[in-house]
Structure 1
Amino acid sequence: MTSQRKTYNWAVLGCGKIARKFVSDLKLLPNARLYAAAARDLSRAQEFAGELGFEVAYGSYEALVSDPKVDVVYIATPHSHHREHALLCLSHQKAVLCEKALAMNSNEVNEMMACARENNTFLMEAFWTMFQPSYQKAMEILRSGELGKLKIVRSDFAFNAPYLEDKRLYNVKLGGGSLLDIGIYPVFAALTSLGLPETIKTFADFSPTGSEESISVICKYADGAMANLTSSFSSYSPTQTEYFCEKGHMVLTPRWFTPTHITVWKEGGEVTTYPNEHKQGFGYQYEAEHVMKCLDQNRIESPVMSWQMSRDLMKFLDRIRIDAGIFFPDHDKNLFF
């Protein structure tokens, strides 16, 4: 006889495009209840809630976190506001799954984690790639040693976005720039396979708003390994990740950060393809399911997407920004590295 799992009341803070995708996958989980949606504009929250099937809608985030029925909040606002909104939720002891980048810099990340610890409340960065079966399989192959030592990681993410200076992608006040929006994925690919680099060299091109439009990062590791990472809003790329090893190489095909398939080449000509076996949704349900398992176990930190992983990821991004000269005046005034 198996015990029935607890059902959690989910709330969404910020009713944009990414939230719609996440919620569509949340519906695939039987122990996830679509309870509340909140936006600064009540009519927008009501429209979102009505369309997606939430029970209540709020026109302020303060009202959302004051609702005693809310168990866990998915934060889907621009990353320039993640610190503010996460601290609001955590101080009301609402578990938090916060979109990436978790914050704007390491100081903000540390403040959010300190608040989670002080309130004994769960916090996790919503880096959905970490929970994709295909990505977990790729990491398993690298760790197995069957391809020998990993020597080079090459990862990219680029698309040609229209230049709209007031919109999130180019607005410095909203953390605009390709690095924190999509460049975080190639950085994540290097971090999870090689760790933090010894040396970083960057080349960046900036838009008229002062936001970084394209960036290329070369990383060198103490053991001789290297990583070549690229992101851009001004061109298209294959959007794939390649791992070059001593005894072969492995490729995660386009849109590698979502459920995808893997091809492995070994010296001698052997080729193995691991097909994408993902059947439903976009792939956000895996991280949501993990969050609820952590809550079942009374955890405040994920053992998979740990606080240390998020700290290291933000430290990596901070070092890239320093080398490239990417600066966010509203956030970096008191930032020391």
Structure 2
Amino acid sequence: MKKKIRWGILGPGHIAHSFAKDLLLVPDGELVAVGSRNLDRAKKFGDTYGASRFFGSYEELYNCEEIDVIYIATPHTYHAEHSIAAMDHGNPVLCEKPMGVNRAEVKNMIAASKRNNVFMMEALWSRFNPAIRKIKQMVVEGVIGEIGHMSSDFAFYALDRDEKGRLLNPELAGGSLLDIGIYPIFLTYLMMGKPENILATSRFHHTGVEIQTSMIFDYPKAQALLYSGLTSKSGMRVEIGGSKGTLFIDPRWHETQGFTWERNGETEAFHIPKIGKGYAHEIEEVQDCLRQGKKQSELWTHQNSMDLVGLMDEVRTRTGIVFPFEV
């Protein structure tokens, strides 16, 4: 059996629980340490998932010699700060998406990875979903022909949430775009590359955060229609239409286990199971990269993260989404 990769988790919040549950399903990975600003919270989380080390400060986790990589699971506004600090202590990093709030932050994070010669990857877990990898392969091989249209959405109701919480608080880079709009943007970029032009419009909550954003990504021979929102639930089904057929990704598409290929009046269904909720696949990618001494993943590179945040920055410019700490 391969030597286990030992993980540390920084920030034992909601997303960290999903990650830790899937880490238990990866035979050659294990959770060793948890860092939180609250020692009791770190210990409770660690006890739940079998960790042996608990820290009441992030600095102690950075200095832990018993871990091989740190998963950054703090709110958006702390991703850059905590990732850079971890890497400056020599730790490889898997940082929850979005890697940074804006292009400048991501650029600084990549610089820290290079400066310290350590691995870093954005935790865009859907990129490693087996069904989405198969769809990407089919698109690259030209199975559906030249893409002419794509549509993708991600929305749920969240206007009843705590206004001081992550989603509705502008000080925490709240709103739909960075939290869930990143998914449709990512998928379109993955399948079609960067657009020539972007049209976008947003609606805002009284707290100042954006709560609905509609986008058109304009390509030389195609258009993609994208949407994210916190005002209602959406179907979360993706359509990728090409000259030789159309792919329909089953909902909820970002964690899907299947899709349908429709062509010439016939349909073919594909079922491609995932491990757990789906985080296990990005965990395995990180572990493979670490064992091979890589500093970035070939499936989701530093340049991919720069391109993605650049697209979100452009949407923000067009819609007027600005956070207080950026002014």
Fold-level similarity (TM above 0.5): yes
Q: Deviations over 1:270-293 (max 9, x none)?
A: 211001323x41111111011011
Q: How many residues align?
A: 326
Alignment of 1:220-259 (within 5 A): 220-221=218-219, 223-259=220-256
Amino acid at match of 2:166: R
Amino acid at match of 1:19: A
Alignment of 1:152-163 (within 5 A): 152-161=149-158, 162-163=160-161
Q: Which runs of 5+ in 1 are unaligned?
A: none
Q: Secondary structure, in 3 states, of the residue corresponding to 1:217? A: strand
Alignment of 1:138-153 (within 5 A): 138-153=135-150
The yes-or-no answer on 1:25 pairing with 2:22 is yes
Alignment of 1:76-155 (within 5 A): 76-155=73-152
- Identify the match of residue 197 of structure 2 among 196, 199, 205: 199
Q: Secondary structure, in 3 states, of the residue corresponding to 1:147? A: coil
Distance (Å, rounded) in 2 between the aligned partners of 1:302 and 1:148: 28
Q: Is the 8 A contact 1:189 1:241 kept in 2?
A: no
Normalising by the residue count of structure 1, what TM-score does the alignment of the two structures yield? 0.95
Q: Is the 8 A contact 2:245 2:262 kept in 1?
A: yes
Q: Deviations over 1:53-109 (max 9, x none)?
A: 110111110011011112100111111100000011000111100000001000100
Amino acid at match of 1:301: Q
The yes-or-no answer on 1:61 pairing with 2:26 is no
Q: Deviations over 1:180-218 (max 9, x none)?
A: 000000001110011111111111110011100011001
Q: Is the 8 A contact 1:175 1:328 kept in 2?
A: yes
Q: Deviations over 1:216-267 (max 9, x none)?
A: 001111x22111100001111101211011122111111111132110111x
Distance (Å, rounded) in 1 between the aligned partners of 2:161 and 2:65: 42
Distance (Å, rounded) in 2 between the aligned partners of 1:202 and 1:62: 41
Q: Percent identical across equivalent pairs?
A: 39
- Identify the match of residue 287 of structure 1 among 282, 289, 292: 282
Distance (Å, rounded) in 2 between the aligned partners of 1:227 and 1:77: 31
Deviation at 1:163, TM superposition (A): 3.9
Distance (Å, rounded) in 2 between the aligned partners of 1:303 and 1:45: 33
Q: Is the 8 A contact 2:24 2:49 kept in 1?
A: no
Q: Deviations over 1:283-304 (max 9, x none)?
A: 1111101101101111111111
Distance (Å, rounded) in 2 between the aligned partners of 1:45 and 1:84: 20
Deviation at 1:329, TM superposition (A): 2.6
Corresponding residue for 2:312?
317
Corresponding residue for 2:182?
184
Normalising by the residue count of structure 2, what TM-score does the alignment of the two structures yield? 0.97
Q: Which runs of 5+ in 2 are unaligned?
A: none
Q: Secondary structure, in 3 states, of the residue corresponding to 1:24? A: helix
Distance (Å, rounded) in 2 between the aligned partners of 1:115 and 1:276: 37
Q: Is the 8 A contact 1:215 1:230 kept in 2?
A: yes
Distance (Å, rounded) in 1 between the aligned partners of 2:46 and 2:122: 24
Corresponding residue for 2:49?
52
Distance (Å, rounded) in 1 between the aligned partners of 2:135 and 2:316: 28
Distance (Å, rounded) in 1 between the aligned partners of 2:36 and 2:193: 37
Q: Is the 8 A contact 2:249 2:256 kept in 1?
A: no
Deviation at 1:6, TM superposition (A): 2.4
Corresponding residue for 1:269?
265
Corresponding residue for 1:16?
13
Amino acid at match of 1:8: I
| Cα RMSD after superposing both structures | 1.0
Distance (Å, rounded) in 1 between the aligned partners of 2:186 and 2:24: 27
Amino acid at match of 2:182: I
Corresponding residue for 2:165?
167
Amino acid at match of 2:5: Y
Q: Is the 8 A contact 2:202 2:319 kept in 1?
A: yes
- Identify the match of residue 7 of structure 1 among 4, 15, 20: 4
Moved >6 Å (runs of 4+): none
Q: Secondary structure, in 3 states, of the residue corresponding to 1:257? A: helix
Distance (Å, rounded) in 2 between the aligned partners of 1:148 and 1:120: 41
Distance (Å, rounded) in 2 between the aligned partners of 1:51 and 1:113: 33
Q: Is the 8 A contact 1:6 1:296 kept in 2?
A: no
